[in-house]
Amino acid sequence: MELFVQLLLTGIALGSGYALGGIGFVLIYKATGVFNFSHGQLTMAGAYFFYMFQVQLGLPPWWSVPAAVASMFAVGVLIERVCLRRMVGEPAITIIMLTIGLGALLRNLVGLVWGTQPQAPVPLFEPGYLSILTVQIPRVYVWTLVAAAIFIAGFVVYFRKSAQGIAMRAVAFHQDHAALSGISIQRVFALSWGLAGVTAAISGIMMVQLVGLDLSMDARGLSAFPAAILGGIDSIGGVIIGGLIIGAAESLAGGYLDPYLGGGAKEVVGYVVLLLILMLRPYGLFGTPEIRKV
């Protein structure tokens, strides 16, 4: 029982990072109607920006976080302005292929600038353990979960209460009606990509505390994709729950199945859970069914 509680809590902490990354998928999809398959590489780039500010430039750890977040906001806006804005009106598959190409470019740029060897940023949280339900949990998992919960709550409030958040929701509901109401569609697109960069940076920084920093982090960042699909690609609340489910499933599979299978279960179990759920609910747990009349 103690092992189960430990694996569950650590999985939820990891899943909170997936939930943050999944919000980035939802932002782009709701604004533009396409999947951003470069989000894993954006997550990795955000983590390396954090490493640059903290270790290479010598900023205090907690100053490095806003610096990395601001940098990734600028990267997201730049991607929208230079690449995506030119693709308005093109088929969705063309834009999806563009995001895949962007992901490959970002990965190679990160390797060119920071090298291919694992790096070691200074931890944000003090080492040690906390006793929760008689189980010893590393402090880093607990504080990562708390930090992710605060950021997620902040994003939800922003979407619901701020003028920019309401504009983004209006564009997601109907772009033509939003434009007729005076909302700048191009500005909303740029803001969506900028905020996707922000969520990627925060998710990457959180994951660095749990799994370290190297070029394989883009695969970790892409784990937010099944979380977004599982919860419902058009649902902020759904992607949060989806991220927690995927994180818990990976942790439990790593603890119970990997010793018998020799490894590998942790990496595929999220997609197995995704397939099982989609066979029952094709639009995800909280996605909106699309009804077409012919």
Q: What is the pLDDT of residue 49?
A: 95
- Of the chain, the percentage scoring pLDDT greater than 70 comes to 96
Q: What is the pLDDT of residue 292?
A: 53
* pLDDT beyond 60 at 291: no
Give the closest residue to 41 by CA, choosing from 201, 195, 193, 152: 201
Which pLDDT band holds residue 288 (cuts at 50, 70, 90)?
Answer: low
pLDDT tens digits, one per residue of 89-128: 677 788 888 989 999 999 999 999 998 888 877 788 877 8
Q: Contact, 204 vs 47, CB < 8 A?
A: yes
Q: Which two tokens stand for residue 270?
A: 């999220």
Q: Sort 31 into a burial class: Cβ within 10 Å, 0-12 / 13-18 / 19+.
A: buried
pLDDT tens digits, one per residue of 116-125: 888 877 788 8
Question: 3-state DSSP call for residue 136?
Answer: strand
Q: What is the pLDDT of residue 110?
A: 93
pLDDT tens digits, one per residue of 146-178: 888 888 888 888 888 888 888 887 877 777 788
In whole angstroms, give the CA distance from residue 156 to residue 115: 36
Q: What is the pLDDT of residue 69?
A: 95
Q: Contact, 43 vs 224, CB < 8 A?
A: yes
* pLDDT beyond 60 at 61: yes
- Please state whether the predicted TM-score (pTM) of the whole model is above 0.75: yes
The conformation of residue 87, written as its DSSP 8-state character, comes to G
Which range is least confidently modeled, 41-55, 139-153, 169-183?
A: 169-183
Which pLDDT band holds residue 209 (cuts at 50, 70, 90)?
Answer: confident
Which pLDDT band holds residue 73 (cuts at 50, 70, 90)?
Answer: very high
- CA trace torsion 133, 137, 143, 147 (10° rounding): -70
Cα angle: 262, vertex 266, 271; to 5 degrees = 130
In whole angstroms, give the CA distance from residue 126 to residue 175: 47
Q: Contact, 39 vs 210, CB < 8 A?
A: no
Q: Contact, 248 vs 17, CB < 8 A?
A: no
Q: Which architecture, in CATH terms, is 2-280?
A: Orthogonal Bundle (1.10)
